[in-house]
Amino acid sequence: MHGTRILDEADRLMTVCNSCRYCEGLCAVFPAMEMRRAFSDGDLNYLANLCHSCGACYVDCQFSPPHEFNVNLPKTLAVARAESYAAYAWPQVLSGAFARNGLVISIVAALSMAAFILGFAALSDRGVLFGVHTGPGAFYKLMPHQAMAALFSAAFLYAILALIMSVRAFWRDIGTPIGGRADGVSIFQAIRDAGELRYLHGGGVGCYDEDDKPTDRRKLFHHLTFYGFLLCFAATSVATLYHYLLGREAPYPWWDLPVVLGTLGGIGLIVGPIGLFLAKMRRDPALLDESSYGMDVGFIAMLLLTGLTGMLLLILRETAAMGPLLALHLGAVFALFITMPYGKFVHGIYRFAALVRYAQERRTAA
Amino acid sequence: MGSKYDVLVIGGGNAALCAAISARRGGASVLVLEGAPKFYRGGNTRHTRNMRCAHDAATEILTGPYTEDEFWEDLLRVTSGQTDEVLARHMIRESKDILNWIVEQGVRWQPSLGGTLSLGRTNSFFLGGGRAMLNALYLTAERLGVDVVYDAEVTDLVIEDGMFLAARLKRPINGETEIRATSLVAAAGGFEANIEWLKQYWGEAADNFLIRGTPYNRGSILKMLLDKGVQEVGDPTQCHAVAIDARAPKFDGGIITRHDSVVFGIVVNKHAQRFYDEGEDIWPKRYAIWGRLVAAQPDQIAYIIFDSTVVNSFMPTLFPPIAGQTIAELAGKLALDPAALEKTITEFNAAVRPGTFDHTILDDCVTEGITPPKTHWARKIETPPYLAYPVRPGITFTYLGTRVTKEARMLMADGKPSANMFAAGEIMAGNVLGKGYAAGMGMTIGSVFGRIAGREAAKHARN
């Protein structure tokens, strides 16, 4: 017996799959399973986070429903995965956030923050809010750079701390049988596997979305989202360096590095999340974990909102709309930060940890 | 969907799809009638995993060469010579090309990985298994414009003087209850799921058989063809039968109900008596004989009995072993006579001679002075908990079929070839496999003769 009903079901399926093994060439889940004969809660959470939900094992399985063995691994592991996020969340009192409607939480957080910034600006000088500001330092008319930096650093550092604590708990639980620290080679391998979404390829033909015809659509939109996010993060980092090292203040001209990075990233963060959302809407319900729908859509919405407000800000920054747009953009980014440890964002962190563990296991077994 | 097709394919497995694709690539219009619903499409192909093909050199997926002669020797050995040499050698030659042809149809191979199967040299494994292979073939067939209808039960074949005219249907398709076609490819499998038919040869014992594949393999097309003058081939009592878990479902338990633990213990019948040398031979022969052995036991039930020392020596099993701290407790759970089981095990243990255990070779662990002996891998059963798997005969496929030529053309009872009827797959496997089996041969027969049948059927239709 396991901690939850879904883990009991995952255990049952692992027993079926381990006595079949036809899927062993499809992804990392099955070779990892074959290294075990019995499955602890940690093992099952590890396998659940190793699963990329490509759906190939469902379409290829002779025992998937309506067969009486009722083998639906993608859905079962999706539910187990969502539950594992809450199980390892830090601090534990906030683990309930995963279960609630992520979309509402994120939007409320974003709007609250935007309202706060607007209020902050309005209190100091009404004219500032709807004024037209151009040239270096224009953004800081709304809110002084130091206040902005302090606020966002605090939110960001908190997110990092909470994520580190959560993934530490996860890593400890999935650590058997080899335990110990992650090694460099395994981490490098995991970076490559995660970077190319190696296991979202259905064994080579693509991912199964709405039916049994595989496509590469989800992989493409995921890449756009992920690399869009990284580019935006890089843009912010470069801008921070510009500010402190070179003393150059935002906004920067369109051809400057932070803007170029942010523009490319912004396009990714608009096209990617929309594509992922449409793919989710079209996906075969048999493969979907409806219970985490709110969390998934909430995260997609926050990424889209971040990308959209950022791009609008770039286009309209020399108009009177700059003030409200900047407030909205900062609100979105702030909400993204503080909800990170309690929303779909963690899937990337846990999956990466699972990939490191898998690379390590393979090396130990070899 | 037209009213008349060039080629009608009846069946929906590997052979049927290879025939449909090859006929379509040959320029014919093709209709596939699959008797099962979509989920169960493909008959036994659903449960297969690999294909045995001759090849002259190692490849990315195969560890070494497997020559035509070696394939032929293996076939000769498993069938004890009950094979049509001309057809068999032709199939083996064609199998070399099938390895690549099947990939061109979208099927993917996987590098030989773990598991307990030591087939990396001779057999190629489908990535994702047999259903993945089927999915790829169906996608390709549909992309090429082959029409496929599921739940399409054929109730009669109109055949005159060895010439196929039409197939009658249980339910109309596009308003038609009769499908006419210029050529027919019958690729509708054997009759292993037809218990009534099995009883003709096995008697009431067939009620206790479990069928490893779908309940749709009822042999109705085979029966119609034989009734209408197609020459039969193969021994109707021959079937591929392995010992599978007695707790498995009646149909479609597939691969995961098998047991590979026989060599690690002993096997007793319902009277707690051993009845065959559990250490006779290495895999895969030991795997393929136990179905028939159990079928010959009272009530068609047997129990593999072993102890806790070997529990991790074989593949994990779907059903957990039944356990007892003492032999008597285990016997009670199996509804065997405790005294009889204790006596059997005590006598067996006393007969075990010391040796060096190695289950990968025919080792020197033997018994002395008991009947039947255990000639290899004999070790005492003495470490509780004692464990058991109940097993029954699990029927994979039957051997009775239609006689064909090298062109996959059916032969009529009078010895004349049919003008336009071809057969491929299990329905004609008996031409090549008179008895016995070696892993992956069913798929070889299906793909090779399916491709030939489709090509020849299209050629006939275009003439």
B307-316 average pLDDT score: 92
Residues of chain A with pLDDT under 50: none
Does residue A267 sit in helix, strand or coil?
helix
**Tokens 């959560």 map to which residue?**
A166
Instruction: Name chain B contacts of A59, Cβ cutoff 8 Å.
Output: 131-132, 135
**Residues B10, B14, B15, B20: is their CA dihedral positive or negative?**
positive
Question: d(Cα B60, Cα B109) in Å, to the nearest integer?
Answer: 9
Name which of A22, A34, A57 is nearest B49 (Cβ-Cβ). Answer: A22
Closest chain A CA to residue B315: A19
All residues at 6 or more sequence positions from B358 whose CB lies less than 8 Å from its CB, including other chains: none
Å between A301 CA and nearest CA of chain B: 35
Which residue from B51, B41, B54, B49 is spatially nearest to B141, judged by alpha carbons? B41
- For residues A78 and A289, the answer to whether their CB atoms sit within 8 Å is yes
Nearest CA in chain B to A212: B135
pLDDT at B272 over 80: yes
Q: What percent of chain B has pLDDT over 70?
A: 97
A22–B255 CB contact, under 8 Å: yes
A23, A68, A213 member nearest B129 (Cβ): A23
Q: Of A59, A57, A66, whose CA–CA distance to A13 is shortest?
A: A57
Looking at CA atoms only, how far is residue B226 from chain A in angstroms?
31
C-beta atoms of A22 and B114 within 8 A? no
Q: How confident is the model at residue B306 (pLDDT cuts 50, 70, 90)?
A: very high
* Shortest CA distance from A27: residue in chain B: B128
Q: How many CB atoms are closer than 10 A to CB A245?
A: 8
User: From B254, which residue of chain A is nearest by alpha-carbon distance?
Assistant: A62
Distance CA A168, CA A175 (A): 10
- Nearest CB to B127 within list A25, A61, A66: A25
CB contact under 8 A, A22 and B128: yes
Contacts of B139 in chain A (CB under 8 A): 212-213
CB contact under 8 A, A22 and B130: yes
Nearest to A19 among B126, B312, B315 (CB): B315
Q: ∠ at Cα B343 (B341, B348), nearest 5°?
A: 95
Contacts of A38 (CB under 8 A, 6+ apart): none
Q: For A175-189, B381-395, B424-438, which range has the lowest pLDDT when averaged over its residues?
A: A175-189
In a mutational test of the B interface, the residue from A37, A62, A64, A70 whose CB has the highest number of chain B CBs within 10 Å is A62
**Nearest Cα to Cα of residue B451 among B131, B14, B133, B6:** B14
Contact between B150 and B406 (Cβ < 8 Å): no
CB contacts of B252 in chain A (<8 Å) are: 62, 67
Closest chain B residue by Cα to residue A18: B316
Q: How far is A64 from chain B (nearest CA, A)?
A: 9
Nearest residue in A to B40, CA atom? A62
Determine contact, residues A360/A181, Cβ cutoff 8 Å. Answer: no
Phi, psi of B149 (to 5 degrees): -125, 130
pLDDT average, residue stretch B103-109: 95
Choose among B46, B110, B125: nearest Cβ to A62.
Answer: B46
Rounded CA gap, B145 and B143, in Å? Answer: 5
Pairs across A and B, CB distance < 8 A: 82
Q: How far apart are CA B198 and CA A203, in angstroms?
A: 40
The shortest C-alpha distance from A206 to chain B (Å) reads 13
Do A298 and A344 contact (CB within 8 A), yes or no? yes
Instruction: For residue B113, name the pLDDT band (cuts at 50, 70, 90).
Output: low
- In this structure, what are the phi and psi dihedrals at residue B210, rounded to the nearest 5 degrees? -105, 145
Closest-CA residue of B relative to A11 is B318
* Across B247-274, average pLDDT: 95
* A271 CA: distance to closest CA in chain B (Å): 30
> Which of A21, A61, A68 minimises the CB distance to B115?
A21
Q: How far is CA A50 from the centre of its chain?
A: 14
Question: Which among B459, B453, B461, B458 is positioned nearest to B402, based on CA atoms?
Answer: B453
Residues of B in contact with A60 (CB under 8 A): 128-129, 131-132, 135
- Whether residue B105 has pLDDT greater than 50: yes
Measure the CA–CA gap between B246 and B259, rounded to whole angstroms: 11
The answer to whether B453 touches B408, Cβ cutoff 8 Å, is yes
Per-residue pLDDT band at B116 (split at 50, 70, 90)? very low
CA distance B305 to B330: 9
Identify whether the C-beta of residue A292 lies closer than 8 Å to the C-beta of residue A286: no
Question: What residues of A are in contact with residue B49 (Cβ under 8 Å)?
Answer: 22
CA angle B433, B435, B440 (to 5 degrees): 55
Q: Do B115 and A24 touch (CB under 8 A)?
A: yes
- The yes-or-no verdict on residue B71 having pLDDT over 60 is yes
Nearest C-alpha of chain A: how many angstroms from B129? 5
User: Any long-range contacts for B117-120 (C-beta under 8 Å, 24+ apart)?
Assistant: B117/B50, B117/B439, B118/B283, B119/B50, B119/B439, B119/B440, B120/B62, B120/B63
Strand, coil or helix: B362: coil
User: Does the global pTM surpass 0.90?
Assistant: yes
Residue B225, both tokens: 């063809």
Interface test mutation site (partner A, options B51, B127, B257, B308, max chain A beta carbons within 10 A):
B127
Q: Are A232 and A306 in contact (CB under 8 A)?
A: yes
Say how far apart CA A322 and CA A328 lie, in whole Å.
10
Looking at the DSSP bridge assignments, the partners of residue B147 are B31
Q: How confident is the model at residue B61 (pLDDT cuts 50, 70, 90)?
A: confident
Question: What is the pLDDT, as a whole number, of residue A186?
Answer: 94
pLDDT of residue B284: 60
Tell which of A19, A34, A362 to mutate to test the B interface (max B CBs under 10 Å).
A19
> Does the structure show a pLDDT above 60 at B154?
yes
Chain B residues in contact with A25 (beta carbon < 8 A)? 110-111, 113, 125, 127-128
DSSP string of A177-225, one letter each residue: TT-SPPPHHHHHHHHHHHHTTTTSSTTTT-B--SSSS-BSHHHHHHHHH
**Residues B270, B340: contact at Cβ < 8 Å?**
no
Calpha distance A280→A212 (Å, rounded): 15
- CB contacts of B46 in chain A (<8 Å) are 62
Identify all chain B residues contacting A18, using CB atoms and an 8 Å cutoff: 316
Residue B108 to residue A203, Cβ atoms within 8 A = yes
Q: Minimal Cα distance from B260: which residue of A?
A: A19
Q: Smallest Cβ distance to B135: which of A60, A63, A66? A: A60
Interchain proximity B129–A62, CB inside 8 Å: yes
When pLDDT is cut at 50, 70 and 90, the band that residue B115 belongs to is very low
Of the candidates B252, B255, B312, the beta carbon closest to that of A20 is on: B255
In chain A, residues with a C-beta closer than 8 Å to the C-beta of B255 are 19-20, 22
CA distance B115 to chain A (A): 8
